[in-house]
Amino acid sequence: MDRTTITEGPSLLTRNSTRITVSLALALILQLLAVAPAQSAGRDIRYVDTASALVRLQPEGTVSETVSRGTAVIVNRIDRGWANIDTDRHSGHWISASLLCSGAGCWNRSAPSVGNAHALPAAAGARLAPARAAPRASSSSAYSCPCSARYNCTGPRGGQYCITEGGNKRYR
């Protein structure tokens, strides 16, 4: 089937499309608000800062729609951690305020680095090795162990053991 694309300003329409996507419609709204700043006074524009967020009819109420990362919303007010918002489809609905950020591009995440707090979880099935404390040397000679003194250890519950040359633990 031949799909003719018509570009007109910031919106992108196809012959078969019947609606403008949420992002493009909000981009149009934001452009209109930028042209008339007097009309947008008191309006707080924020962006969804998570992969997807549930928009509700009331705080902790029934879900009315789902919005994706980067979607612009107009925040009317924030009450007990919930933001009363307007989207291109609905007005007066609610979303958790912790899922929103302010400033254009605030939702963009760079690739996680070693110290990044938003690092991705380990792959499914992968397990992290438990953190091991470095063996503590014991200066007590009351216990006999065939291992050298530098491998004498105290366990997490106070038990004494040493590491044999084969790598096994020998409790005293």
Same domain, 96 and 19: yes
**83 and 25 housed in the same domain:** yes
The pLDDT of residue 31 is above 50: yes
- Picking from 50, 84, 101, the residue at the C-terminal end of a domain is 101
Whether residue 47 is predicted with pLDDT greater than 70 in this model: the reply is yes
Domain of residue 168 covers 135-172
How many CA atoms does the CB half-sphere of 105 hold within 13 Å?
1
The pLDDT of residue 5 is 53
Domain match, 89 and 38 both? yes
Same domain, 44 and 92: yes
Higher-confidence residue of 117 and 61: namely 61
The pLDDT score that the predictor gives to residue 35 is: 42
Query: What value does the mean pLDDT take over residues 99-110?
Result: 82
Provide φ and ψ at 76, rounded to 5°. Answer: -85, -45
Q: What is the pLDDT of residue 95?
A: 93
Q: Both 73 and 150 in a single domain?
A: no
State whether 12 and 66 are in the same domain: yes
Cα–Cα distances (Å) from 94 to 26, 74, 99, 172, in that order, read 17, 11, 11, 62
115 lies in some domain = no
